[in-house]
């Protein structure tokens, strides 16, 4: 069974499921994902999160998730596996938060440093340091 998440507004991060994933887990996952990607100060986020539940009963961790996101200009991939759906969603949220925090921290550098021609170079100075 494959389903797509639907909301009144078009989500920037799609939530998809494969296998026997109930609506309760999808709603829980949507709330946790939105809590991570809808934070102020975070660059635009888009992508897909897939939650899968394996049909094999002997699997140690039948629940798995893959998040493939674009955060600003960076590409982030997060993987998680757990024994239950709620554990999987919590683990996925923790990993997503760490990766988005790291990415947001590293993307604040928008201008080149002065030694590479960025703001603050002597050529940007409009005043002559040695007037005649």
Whether residue 116 lies inside any domain: the answer is: no
Q: Is residue 132 part of a domain?
A: no
Cα distances (angstroms) measured from residue 95 to each of 3, 11, 47, 91, 100:
24, 20, 16, 6, 9
pTM of the model: 0.69
Is 95 a domain residue? Answer: yes
The CATH code of the domain that includes 79 is: 3.30.160.100
Say whether pLDDT at 6 is over 50.
no
Q: Kindly tell me if the per-residue pLDDT of 21 is higher than 80.
A: yes
83 lies in some domain: yes
* Number of domains present in the structure of the chain: 1
Q: Is residue 120 situated within a structural domain?
A: no
Residue 86 has pLDDT above 70, yes or no: yes
**Is residue 127 a part of any domain in this protein?**
no
Pick from 7-21, 38-52, 101-115 the range whose average pLDDT is largest: 38-52
Contact indicator for 29, 63 with CB cutoff of 8 Å: no
């Amino acid at each position: 069974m494959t389903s797509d998440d639907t909301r009144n507004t078009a989500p920037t991060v799609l939530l998809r499921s494969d296998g026997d994933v109930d609506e309760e887990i999808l709603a829980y996952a949507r709330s946790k994902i939105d809590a991570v990607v809808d934070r102020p100060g975070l660059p635009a986020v888009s992508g897909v999160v897939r939650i899968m539940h394996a049909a094999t009963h002997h699997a140690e961790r039948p629940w798995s998730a893959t998040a493939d996101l674009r955060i600003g200009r960076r590409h982030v991939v997060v993987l998680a596996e757990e024994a239950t759906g709620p554990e999987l969603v919590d683990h996925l949220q923790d990993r997503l938060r760490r990766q988005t925090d790291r990415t947001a921290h590293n993307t604040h550098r928008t201008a080149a440093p002065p030694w590479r021609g960025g703001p603050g170079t002597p050529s940007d100075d409009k005043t002559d340091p040695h007037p005649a």
